[in-house]
Structures are given as structure tokens and as C-alpha cells.
Structure 1
């Protein structure tokens, strides 16, 4: 399967979950390469913004920034090899992230089965953009879906980033939590429209300020907190950004 590459190995690392309802819990992150979306502000654009692709990014024009060479940032690795790597760590919570992890579901199913064959206590979260429906096999094995539908601030057409069938499925599942990245207060109208359209329970909605640095989080945080207070939604910070900034592999 295709994982993002970090320091000549797979991007697998032991850290604290930085976002969502599991924030603060020790976890092992496994970062898939490839994504079917292309958010302008994405901070893991090395999983999709390859040479030859037409997608714009907010960092375009920044000195030193360029599109990535696909083979330089991608590692082919088997579920068996990943399982052996994960067993080295002291926690049994795994976060499958990306990119978009639901593009490689059969391989994740194999990985989960390998790990739980030895120890059924393994717990798995999936961080998804909500545009891909989990297979029955994947659904049965995942403990928590962290669904992050993309708003117009991502720079994509709604028909690309909002797909009815998977979002309807996730909204009806007690395994799912919905996390929205907010940079401006007017974006709340989009979120409310999606919550109504897909009947997303209010207690499962989280708002997170947009930001790649603590200063950026602070700039948006107070306004986002006020929006949560007004609507009874949950505020979600980015703990890993607070602790380690833009550093990878933490």
C-alpha cells in the first residue's frame, strides 16, 4: 500500500492525538499517501500535490515551495510490514490518516486483522474527508470515524467535496464525529446547511480554527469558540500545533 514517506521510512509515529474527541490520547499515526481532494490550505499536501497536477495551493509563490516528486514522498509497504512496525510502540490506539485513507480500504482491513489476531484490544480511528463510503468490512473494524467535510474555503467546487451517500452514512453512524475547519464567521452558514441537509446531530459537531501555527490558531480561536457557545457545538483545538508547531512526525 502507499504511505507517505518520512526520513526514508513510512510516516508512522507515536504521539498524542491532537484533534477531535480523542485529543490528548496517546496514539500511533499512520499516514496514507494519495487524496481525492486538494484543499488550498492543506498541511499534508505532500500526499497529493505532485508534479504534473493542476491544483493550486496557498503556498504557491512562496520561496522554496514546489510541487512534490511523487516517488520521493511515497513509500510502497505491505500491511504485514506496517503491523510489525506498530507493535513496537506502547499504545494500542492507531489513527489512520492521510491523504485520504479510505482510498486503500482492503489494505487497512488486512492490517487490522493482523494486529487483532494477536491482541483484540487494538483501537482504530479513521480521519476522512467524508467523500468515500467505507466498505462493510472496513465499517465493522473501525471504532471511530473523524469526518472532516470541506467547506468553500478549501477552494474546491461543492460537487467535488460534498458527496451525499457517504455523508448520509456517516451522519447516521454513532461511530462518527464531524469536524469543520473554520477561518471566517460567515462559514458557519455552510456548516449549518450541511448539518441540516445530512441531519448531523449537534452533539457530534466540532469546530476547529484554521491554523498551521499557534499564532494562527489564536487569531481565529476566540471567534470559533463563540460560535460553538452560541450553537452548543464542541470546540476543537490543534494540540500538536500548540506543542510542536509545523514539525512533521509528531
Structure 2
């Protein structure tokens, strides 16, 4: 758990506290947080040790919703935007965690691949970043797409846009949903493709500004 600036999507530039949950069964080839994929018992630590860790190490801890909120308060964080991410956060029932933060006047956002049921509070902003044909061979759930407030799709080639079209056509997407294209790894060709498509379709470009700024 750490405080920083949200670097991508609708809330780009907003001060945020990230709560990064351990474990992911999706297996994205380009994932920049592969240390979160498993929860090996030998890597279990105390909450204090996990908060203090430096670098991309796979240490983790068990914590309740109340434990997480207590640490948020103890650390003196001031950001009221809480980003619950992973790993794949929707491998867990997040309703208690969202409710605990909302009692403090915070607003929660989750970032999910859409491959697990989305169990969050009604007011949580759900960002689905669909992961299609990944190593884990998991289906993007129609229910996740239909709960989404924002669909932020990683793009390397035109094939990825075709896959997004198939997903959108397979579900009843909210009229208010924000559709954003995010170039994978800031590649020039992918960025150009995303810009051209966003202009053509009146979608939004999501640039990973935190990577350009070299912040967490």
C-alpha cells in the first residue's frame, strides 16, 4: 500500500492510495508486476514489512479490511481516492474493503482484468482492462464488462482492437462507460494506432504517465 498519483485512465493525475493485492491467475506476458502472481508461504511477512518493502519482491501478508484501513490512517495518507489493484483483485470479495474505506469518506476504484466476478460496493468505480487469450486461458466475463464504468484496453496491434470490438458486442455496455485504449509498453506504433482509433471512434487515449514520470 502506497500513496502516489494515479497515472492512467479516467483519474489520471488524481492523488491516490494504491492497495495492491497478491495473486493473479491471468498471466499477461507484458505484466510489470509479476511479483504479485503467487502467494508462496515462504514470502509471507508482517503488514509493516510489506509496507516498508522496496522493489519488486513477492512478499505479502494476510490482512482484514479493518487492518488495511488502520494502516491507511496510521501512515497519515491524505489521498481519498483508493485504487484496489493487483495481482487480480477480483479473486477476492472486495465489498468489506470498499465499505471500510467509504466510511472514511474515500472513493474506491478497482482495476481488474474482468476474468473474475466483480464483488464491490455500488459506488466503486470499476475499471475493466480486458485480458484476452492470456496464459491463464480465462474468459473475460460478460458480467464484469456490464458492471464496468471504464473499459481500458491494452493495445499492441489492430488485433487487440478487434478483440475489444468482439467483447463490447458480446455484452450490454452502460451508455456512460468510458472506453480507453492504452498502448502496451509505450511503443510508438501502438501509441499511433491508439490515437488514430480514438479520434475515429471518439474514445479516450490512456497514456501510462507514471512511467514517463518514473513514479510508482
Q: TM-score, normalised by structure 1?
A: 0.71
The structure 2 residue matched to 1:176, chosen from 149, 154, 175, is 149
Matched, 1:129 2:110: no
Shift of 1:220: 2.2
Matched, 1:148 2:136: no
The structure 1 residue matched to 2:82, chosen from 71, 91, 94, is 94
Over aligned residue pairs, what C-alpha RMSD do you find?
2.5
- Between the aligned partners of 2:131 and 2:72, the Cα distance in structure 1 is 30
Which residue number corresponds to residue 209 of structure 2? 239
The structure 2 residue matched to 1:205, chosen from 176, 179, 197, is 179
Runs (4+) of structure 1 exceeding 6 A deviation are none
SS of residue matched to 2:110: strand
Bigger fraction of residues in helix: 1
Q: What 5-or-longer segments of structure 2 have no aligned partner?
A: 45-57
- Between the aligned partners of 2:64 and 2:177, the Cα distance in structure 1 is 38
- Between the aligned partners of 2:167 and 2:111, the Cα distance in structure 1 is 19
Q: TM-score, normalised by structure 2?
A: 0.81
Shift of 1:104: 2.1
Cα deviations across residues 215-236 of structure 1 (Å, max 9, x unaligned)?
x444421221111112221111
Cα 1:89/1:231, change in 2 over 3 Å: same
